[in-house]
Structure 1
Protein backbone atom coordinates (compact mmCIF):
# COMPACT_ATOMS: atom_id res chain seq x y z
CA UNK A 1 0.00 0.00 0.00
CA UNK A 2 1.37 3.40 -0.91
CA UNK A 3 2.07 5.40 2.22
CA UNK A 4 0.26 8.75 2.36
CA UNK A 5 2.45 11.83 2.71
CA UNK A 6 1.07 12.72 6.16
CA UNK A 7 2.21 9.35 7.51
CA UNK A 8 5.68 9.75 5.99
CA UNK A 9 5.96 13.12 7.79
CA UNK A 10 4.85 11.56 11.09
CA UNK A 11 7.33 8.71 10.69
CA UNK A 12 10.19 11.23 10.35
CA UNK A 13 9.50 12.14 13.98
CA UNK A 14 8.45 8.82 15.53
CA UNK A 15 10.35 6.29 13.44
CA UNK A 16 8.77 2.83 13.53
CA UNK A 17 6.94 3.41 16.85
CA UNK A 18 3.34 2.22 17.12
CA UNK A 19 0.84 4.56 15.51
CA UNK A 20 -2.96 4.28 15.55
CA UNK A 21 -4.39 4.91 12.08
CA UNK A 22 -7.97 4.95 10.78
CA UNK A 23 -8.59 2.63 7.87
CA UNK A 24 -11.47 1.42 5.75
CA UNK A 25 -12.28 -1.88 4.11
CA UNK A 26 -14.83 -2.05 1.31
CA UNK A 27 -16.68 -5.27 0.51
CA UNK A 28 -17.73 -4.45 -3.05
CA UNK A 29 -20.56 -6.42 -4.63
CA UNK A 30 -21.33 -6.42 -8.33
CA UNK A 31 -23.80 -8.18 -10.61
CA UNK A 32 -24.93 -11.59 -9.41
CA UNK A 33 -23.24 -11.20 -6.04
CA UNK A 34 -19.74 -11.11 -7.50
CA UNK A 35 -17.08 -9.67 -5.19
CA UNK A 36 -14.32 -7.29 -6.26
CA UNK A 37 -10.84 -8.15 -4.95
CA UNK A 38 -7.32 -7.01 -5.55
CA UNK A 39 -4.09 -8.99 -5.32
CA UNK A 40 -1.91 -6.74 -3.23
CA UNK A 41 1.53 -5.71 -4.41
CA UNK A 42 3.00 -5.72 -0.89
CA UNK A 43 2.30 -9.38 -0.05
CA UNK A 44 0.82 -10.93 -3.22
CA UNK A 45 -2.38 -12.02 -1.44
CA UNK A 46 -5.93 -11.50 -2.65
CA UNK A 47 -7.78 -9.03 -0.47
CA UNK A 48 -10.87 -6.96 0.02
CA UNK A 49 -10.19 -3.35 -0.92
CA UNK A 50 -8.76 -1.28 1.90
CA UNK A 51 -6.73 1.77 2.76
CA UNK A 52 -5.89 4.47 5.24
CA UNK A 53 -8.05 7.56 5.63
CA UNK A 54 -6.67 11.00 4.89
CA UNK A 55 -6.76 13.54 7.78
CA UNK A 56 -10.35 14.73 8.27
CA UNK A 57 -11.77 12.35 5.66
CA UNK A 58 -15.11 10.73 6.38
CA UNK A 59 -14.86 6.89 6.39
CA UNK A 60 -17.50 6.30 3.68
CA UNK A 61 -15.86 8.88 1.41
CA UNK A 62 -12.50 7.20 2.06
CA UNK A 63 -13.92 3.84 1.01
CA UNK A 64 -15.22 5.34 -2.25
CA UNK A 65 -11.84 7.01 -2.89
CA UNK A 66 -9.77 3.91 -2.07
CA UNK A 67 -11.82 1.60 -4.29
CA UNK A 68 -11.60 3.98 -7.23
CA UNK A 69 -7.87 4.62 -6.72
CA UNK A 70 -7.10 0.90 -6.66
CA UNK A 71 -9.61 -0.45 -9.20
CA UNK A 72 -11.21 2.38 -11.26
CA UNK A 73 -14.61 1.13 -10.07
CA UNK A 74 -17.19 3.60 -8.78
CA UNK A 75 -19.14 2.45 -5.73
CA UNK A 76 -21.83 3.54 -3.34
CA UNK A 77 -21.54 2.67 0.32
CA UNK A 78 -24.68 0.92 1.54
CA UNK A 79 -24.05 0.08 5.18
CA UNK A 80 -21.53 -0.41 7.96
CA UNK A 81 -20.48 -4.02 8.44
CA UNK A 82 -18.00 -3.64 11.30
CA UNK A 83 -15.98 -1.20 13.37
CA UNK A 84 -12.94 -2.75 14.96
CA UNK A 85 -9.60 -1.92 16.55
CA UNK A 86 -7.08 -4.43 15.23
CA UNK A 87 -4.07 -5.84 17.09
CA UNK A 88 -0.63 -4.30 16.62
CA UNK A 89 0.81 -5.13 13.20
CA UNK A 90 4.38 -4.67 12.06
CA UNK A 91 4.56 -3.80 8.37
CA UNK A 92 7.28 -5.01 5.98
CA UNK A 93 9.24 -1.78 6.45
CA UNK A 94 9.21 -2.14 10.26
CA UNK A 95 6.48 0.43 10.95
CA UNK A 96 4.12 -0.59 13.74
CA UNK A 97 0.42 0.18 13.29
CA UNK A 98 -2.78 -0.25 15.23
CA UNK A 99 -5.42 -0.09 12.49
CA UNK A 100 -8.81 1.27 13.54
CA UNK A 101 -10.97 -0.21 10.82
CA UNK A 102 -14.43 0.64 9.52
CA UNK A 103 -15.82 -1.96 7.13
CA UNK A 104 -18.54 -1.15 4.61
CA UNK A 105 -20.78 -3.19 2.31
CA UNK A 106 -20.70 -1.43 -1.05
CA UNK A 107 -22.27 -1.74 -4.48
CA UNK A 108 -20.47 -1.12 -7.75
CA UNK A 109 -22.22 1.50 -9.91
CA UNK A 110 -19.74 2.10 -12.73
CA UNK A 111 -16.25 1.77 -14.11
CA UNK A 112 -14.33 -1.18 -15.48
CA UNK A 113 -12.27 -3.09 -12.93
CA UNK A 114 -8.55 -2.80 -13.62
CA UNK A 115 -5.29 -2.18 -11.82
CA UNK A 116 -5.41 1.58 -11.27
CA UNK A 117 -2.35 2.19 -9.06
CA UNK A 118 0.80 0.53 -7.76
CA UNK A 119 -0.93 -1.10 -4.77
CA UNK A 120 -2.37 -3.96 -6.82
CA UNK A 121 -0.89 -6.68 -9.00
CA UNK A 122 -4.32 -7.77 -10.23
CA UNK A 123 -7.94 -6.70 -9.83
CA UNK A 124 -10.83 -9.06 -10.57
CA UNK A 125 -14.46 -9.90 -9.92
CA UNK A 126 -15.08 -13.30 -8.34
CA UNK A 127 -18.14 -15.48 -8.15
CA UNK A 128 -18.84 -16.46 -4.53
CA UNK A 129 -18.21 -20.17 -5.24
CA UNK A 130 -14.77 -19.65 -6.81
CA UNK A 131 -13.11 -16.95 -4.73
CA UNK A 132 -9.45 -17.09 -3.73
CA UNK A 133 -8.76 -17.62 -0.05
CA UNK A 134 -8.91 -14.53 2.14
CA UNK A 135 -7.46 -14.23 5.62
CA UNK A 136 -9.71 -15.11 8.57
CA UNK A 137 -10.71 -11.52 9.38
CA UNK A 138 -11.59 -10.65 5.79
CA UNK A 139 -13.50 -13.92 5.39
CA UNK A 140 -15.56 -12.87 8.42
CA UNK A 141 -16.15 -9.39 6.98
CA UNK A 142 -17.31 -10.89 3.67
CA UNK A 143 -19.76 -13.23 5.42
CA UNK A 144 -21.17 -10.36 7.48
CA UNK A 145 -21.50 -8.14 4.40
CA UNK A 146 -23.43 -10.84 2.56
CA UNK A 147 -25.94 -11.08 5.43
CA UNK A 148 -27.97 -7.91 4.92
CA UNK A 149 -29.90 -8.57 8.15
CA UNK A 150 -26.76 -8.79 10.30
CA UNK A 151 -26.20 -5.88 12.68
CA UNK A 152 -22.84 -4.10 12.50
CA UNK A 153 -20.09 -5.95 14.36
CA UNK A 154 -18.21 -4.24 17.17
CA UNK A 155 -16.51 -5.28 20.37
CA UNK A 156 -18.17 -3.85 23.49
Structure 2
Protein backbone atom coordinates (compact mmCIF):
# COMPACT_ATOMS: atom_id res chain seq x y z
CA UNK A 1 0.00 0.00 0.00
CA UNK A 2 1.49 3.33 -1.02
CA UNK A 3 1.79 5.86 1.78
CA UNK A 4 -0.67 8.74 1.23
CA UNK A 5 0.78 12.26 1.24
CA UNK A 6 -1.19 13.26 4.34
CA UNK A 7 0.49 10.42 6.28
CA UNK A 8 3.92 11.55 5.07
CA UNK A 9 3.13 15.03 6.42
CA UNK A 10 2.12 13.58 9.81
CA UNK A 11 5.25 11.43 9.92
CA UNK A 12 7.42 14.52 9.32
CA UNK A 13 6.55 15.69 12.85
CA UNK A 14 5.41 12.46 14.55
CA UNK A 15 8.44 10.40 13.61
CA UNK A 16 8.07 6.66 13.99
CA UNK A 17 5.61 6.73 16.91
CA UNK A 18 2.53 4.52 16.77
CA UNK A 19 -0.25 6.08 14.70
CA UNK A 20 -3.89 4.96 14.95
CA UNK A 21 -5.09 4.68 11.34
CA UNK A 22 -8.36 4.00 9.57
CA UNK A 23 -8.24 1.16 7.07
CA UNK A 24 -10.82 -0.15 4.63
CA UNK A 25 -10.97 -3.54 2.95
CA UNK A 26 -13.38 -5.00 0.42
CA UNK A 27 -14.56 -8.49 -0.38
CA UNK A 28 -15.64 -8.09 -3.99
CA UNK A 29 -17.78 -10.87 -5.46
CA UNK A 30 -18.90 -11.20 -9.06
CA UNK A 31 -22.13 -12.70 -10.42
CA UNK A 32 -20.49 -16.15 -10.40
CA UNK A 33 -19.60 -15.91 -6.70
CA UNK A 34 -15.86 -15.53 -7.34
CA UNK A 35 -13.76 -13.26 -5.14
CA UNK A 36 -11.45 -10.54 -6.46
CA UNK A 37 -7.89 -10.67 -5.12
CA UNK A 38 -4.67 -8.79 -5.78
CA UNK A 39 -1.07 -9.97 -5.41
CA UNK A 40 0.62 -7.16 -3.50
CA UNK A 41 3.77 -5.55 -4.86
CA UNK A 42 5.15 -4.94 -1.35
CA UNK A 43 4.93 -8.56 -0.12
CA UNK A 44 4.28 -10.66 -3.22
CA UNK A 45 1.32 -12.26 -1.41
CA UNK A 46 -2.28 -12.51 -2.55
CA UNK A 47 -4.78 -10.51 -0.51
CA UNK A 48 -8.14 -8.81 -0.54
CA UNK A 49 -8.28 -5.22 -1.76
CA UNK A 50 -7.93 -2.39 0.72
CA UNK A 51 -6.40 0.94 1.61
CA UNK A 52 -6.47 4.08 3.71
CA UNK A 53 -9.30 6.62 3.42
CA UNK A 54 -8.32 10.14 2.46
CA UNK A 55 -9.18 12.83 5.03
CA UNK A 56 -12.96 13.32 4.99
CA UNK A 57 -13.57 10.30 2.72
CA UNK A 58 -16.36 7.97 3.79
CA UNK A 59 -15.28 4.32 4.32
CA UNK A 60 -17.61 2.81 1.69
CA UNK A 61 -16.48 5.38 -0.88
CA UNK A 62 -12.88 4.50 -0.03
CA UNK A 63 -13.58 0.81 -0.65
CA UNK A 64 -15.03 1.58 -4.08
CA UNK A 65 -12.09 3.88 -4.93
CA UNK A 66 -9.44 1.39 -3.79
CA UNK A 67 -11.00 -1.47 -5.79
CA UNK A 68 -11.13 0.72 -8.90
CA UNK A 69 -7.59 2.09 -8.43
CA UNK A 70 -6.04 -1.33 -7.88
CA UNK A 71 -8.07 -3.57 -10.20
CA UNK A 72 -10.06 -1.35 -12.62
CA UNK A 73 -13.24 -3.04 -11.37
CA UNK A 74 -16.28 -0.90 -10.63
CA UNK A 75 -18.13 -2.19 -7.59
CA UNK A 76 -21.04 -1.31 -5.33
CA UNK A 77 -20.86 -1.74 -1.54
CA UNK A 78 -23.69 -3.94 -0.24
CA UNK A 79 -23.10 -4.27 3.49
CA UNK A 80 -20.66 -3.91 6.33
CA UNK A 81 -18.91 -7.20 7.15
CA UNK A 82 -16.56 -6.38 9.97
CA UNK A 83 -15.02 -3.70 12.18
CA UNK A 84 -11.75 -4.77 13.79
CA UNK A 85 -8.70 -3.21 15.39
CA UNK A 86 -5.70 -5.01 13.93
CA UNK A 87 -2.43 -5.75 15.67
CA UNK A 88 0.16 -2.94 15.49
CA UNK A 89 2.68 -3.25 12.65
CA UNK A 90 6.20 -1.93 12.30
CA UNK A 91 7.42 -1.20 8.78
CA UNK A 92 11.03 -1.67 7.64
CA UNK A 93 11.67 2.09 7.97
CA UNK A 94 10.62 1.97 11.66
CA UNK A 95 7.18 3.57 11.23
CA UNK A 96 4.58 1.99 13.52
CA UNK A 97 0.82 2.01 13.07
CA UNK A 98 -2.32 0.21 14.10
CA UNK A 99 -5.26 0.00 11.71
CA UNK A 100 -8.97 -0.04 12.48
CA UNK A 101 -10.23 -2.11 9.53
CA UNK A 102 -13.73 -1.56 8.21
CA UNK A 103 -14.55 -4.32 5.72
CA UNK A 104 -17.34 -4.19 3.14
CA UNK A 105 -18.99 -6.78 0.96
CA UNK A 106 -19.09 -5.33 -2.55
CA UNK A 107 -20.66 -6.55 -5.77
CA UNK A 108 -18.70 -6.16 -8.99
CA UNK A 109 -20.47 -4.39 -11.83
CA UNK A 110 -18.21 -6.20 -14.31
CA UNK A 111 -15.72 -9.03 -14.03
CA UNK A 112 -12.98 -7.59 -16.25
CA UNK A 113 -10.00 -6.81 -14.03
CA UNK A 114 -6.40 -5.75 -14.59
CA UNK A 115 -3.48 -4.38 -12.63
CA UNK A 116 -4.34 -0.69 -12.51
CA UNK A 117 -1.58 0.78 -10.30
CA UNK A 118 1.86 0.01 -8.91
CA UNK A 119 0.53 -1.58 -5.70
CA UNK A 120 -0.34 -4.92 -7.35
CA UNK A 121 1.66 -7.47 -9.34
CA UNK A 122 -1.43 -9.39 -10.45
CA UNK A 123 -5.18 -9.28 -9.92
CA UNK A 124 -7.73 -11.97 -10.58
CA UNK A 125 -11.01 -13.67 -9.81
CA UNK A 126 -10.90 -16.85 -7.75
CA UNK A 127 -13.41 -19.59 -7.07
CA UNK A 128 -13.92 -20.06 -3.34
CA UNK A 129 -12.60 -23.62 -3.52
CA UNK A 130 -9.48 -22.54 -5.45
CA UNK A 131 -8.12 -19.59 -3.46
CA UNK A 132 -4.37 -18.94 -3.45
CA UNK A 133 -2.60 -18.95 -0.06
CA UNK A 134 -4.10 -16.10 2.01
CA UNK A 135 -3.55 -14.65 5.48
CA UNK A 136 -6.19 -15.44 8.11
CA UNK A 137 -7.14 -11.72 7.89
CA UNK A 138 -8.45 -12.27 4.34
CA UNK A 139 -9.91 -15.74 4.87
CA UNK A 140 -12.02 -14.58 7.82
CA UNK A 141 -13.48 -11.72 5.79
CA UNK A 142 -14.22 -13.94 2.78
CA UNK A 143 -15.97 -16.41 5.11
CA UNK A 144 -18.16 -13.64 6.56
CA UNK A 145 -19.05 -12.43 3.06
CA UNK A 146 -19.95 -15.82 1.64
CA UNK A 147 -21.88 -17.15 4.64
CA UNK A 148 -24.17 -14.14 4.85
CA UNK A 149 -23.09 -13.71 8.47
CA UNK A 150 -24.10 -10.66 10.51
CA UNK A 151 -21.64 -7.80 10.91
CA UNK A 152 -18.77 -9.02 13.08
CA UNK A 153 -17.27 -6.85 15.80
CA UNK A 154 -13.97 -7.84 17.46
CA UNK A 155 -14.38 -8.66 21.13
CA UNK A 156 -18.15 -9.08 20.92
CA UNK A 157 -18.18 -12.87 20.48
CA UNK A 158 -17.17 -15.28 17.80
CA UNK A 159 -18.85 -15.36 14.42
TM-score normalised to the size of structure 1?
0.96
SS of equivalent residue, structure 1 residue 33: coil
Tell me, in whole angstroms, the C-alpha distance in 2 between the residues paired with 1:94 and 1:134. 25
User: Which stretch has the larger CA shift, 84-93 or 98-107?
Assistant: 84-93
Tell me, in whole angstroms, the C-alpha distance in 1 between the residues paired with 2:60 and 2:19. 22
Tell me, in whole angstroms, the C-alpha distance in 1 between the residues paired with 2:91 and 2:132. 23
Tell me, in whole angstroms, the C-alpha distance in 2 between the residues paired with 1:6 and 1:62. 15
1:6 aligns with 2:6: yes
Q: CA RMSD in A?
A: 1.1
Tell me, in whole angstroms, the C-alpha distance in 1 between the residues paired with 2:92 and 2:101. 19
> Is there any run of 5+ residues in structure 2 with no aligned partner, and where?
none
Aligned to 1:116: 116
Per the TM alignment, residue 125 of structure 1 is displaced from its structure 2 partner at its CA by 0.6
Tell me, in whole angstroms, the C-alpha distance in 2 between the residues paired with 1:50 and 1:93. 21
1:13-45 deviation digits (Å, cap 9, x = unpaired): 111110011010100001311110000000000
Task: Kindly tell me the number of residue pairs found equivalent between the two proteins.
Answer: 155
Asked if 2 retains the 8 angstrom alpha-carbon contact of 1:72 and 1:111, the reply is no
